[in-house]
Amino acid sequence: MSSALFSSLPVAGVTLANRLVVAPMCQYSANDGSASDWHMMHLGMLANSGAGLVIVEATHVERHGRITHGCVGLYSDANELALGHVIAAAKTYGKAKFGVQLAHAGRKASSQRPWEGGTFLRPNEDAWATIAPSALPFGDGWHTPREMTEADMDRVRDAFVNSARRALRAGFDEIELHMAHGYLMHTFLSPISNKRTDQYGGSLENRMRFPLSVAQAVRAVVPQDVPLGARITGSDWQEGGITPDEAVALAKALKTAGVDFVCVSSGGVAGGIHNPTGLGYNVPLAEAVKKGAGIKVRAVGLITTAEQAEDIVASGKADLVAAARAFLDDPHFGWHAARTLNADVAIPNQYLRVGPKFWSPTPKA
């Protein structure tokens, strides 16, 4: 029996060799938004991991939209040049397609790197002012963001459009918009963080207004044959927050706006709220969105084995599966997953000696 996980999938004008995706993982190793030699090593390694698609970490559309001083951006010519150099090398020597997750951190910006504490920057750490739909801090002690005006929304929307143009010039095969994890567009969508009383707050239709306007504006400059996706929240894991039904409604609206797929994640909207910790905890959310919205869906969240990923795709719960820590732990996770599932995966010529046809008996995955 052939593997569902290692079957190809067309998305817009791009055909992915398989359904296994490297999820975006912040590395906090950029220089004023510009990718560094670390990214050359990190993404070069993942280009030959066996995944059909690698998503570059949250890549910010404004300097003050970065999570930390070390976060990647696409807001300057220098950023575009640096990231384009990395992607050109990774695509020249790698087998995977490459996507980018465009983001604005909103009230979670101006933060420390995880290994520096992972909370808000102190005044002596070159902190900056943050923005959000409402003047509510992420958690105790965090900066209070400034409530965004319509002029702010126009500027940020234009920044997403400009970053999308830069991403296309940099050679990305796919673009996605970050609407989850408590960052700017998620905070518009969630009633926990959005307390506005104007046309951008209150009802779900109003809370979706700004994120949908960003999606529409980006779609207008991204050719139809280039996949455009969004990472959305399936649940805020707190009463009064986003529900799976609202996630379905958002996915339907994004599909109407021209978005080709959604990645269903969850949580992160405010400090003190904890996600479930079970394997594949977001998969039921992804399945609900796939069935309810009729859009291609990617599942993510503690997906750690080949068998687990295969079941998600084969049973129709999602069209794609993304993993993060599994690839950091095993940079050839895709090769080993394919071996486990008796499937084939592309291996660079320089490494063919470890392919099953050339190495017998092959080691266990």
pLDDT tens sequence across 104-144:
999 999 999 999 999 999 999 999 999 999 999 999 999 99
User: Do the bridges between strand 14-16 and strand 9-11 make them parallel or antiparallel, or are there none, so unpaired?
Assistant: antiparallel
118: left (phi over 0), alpha (psi -120 to 50) or beta: left
User: 111: left (phi > 0), else alpha (psi -120 to 50), else beta?
Assistant: beta
Considering the entire predicted model, what is its pTM?
0.96
CA dist 137 and 355 (Å) reads: 52
What pLDDT does residue 1 have?
Answer: 63
- In the residue annotation, 281 being an active-site residue is answered as no
Q: Which of 251, 255, 264, 247 is nearest to 321 (CA)?
A: 264
State the pLDDT at residue 360: 62
Give me the pLDDT at residue 93, please.
96
- Among candidate residues 28, 75, 93, 183, the one labeled active-site is 183
**Which pLDDT does position 328 carry in this prediction?**
96
CATH number of the 9-354 domain = 3.20.20.70
Write b or e for each residue in 1-17: b if 16 or more Cβ atoms lie within 10 A of its Cβ, otherwise e: eebbbbeebebbebebb
Q: Give the alpha-carbon dihedral of 208, 214, 218, 219, to 10 degrees.
A: 20
Q: Give the residue extent of every domain in the chain.
A: 9-354
Q: For residue 328, give both structure tokens.
A: 């950091």
Query: Which residues of the chain fall below pLDDT 50?
Result: none
pLDDT of residue 281: 96
pLDDT at 357: 74
What pLDDT is attached to residue 354?
86
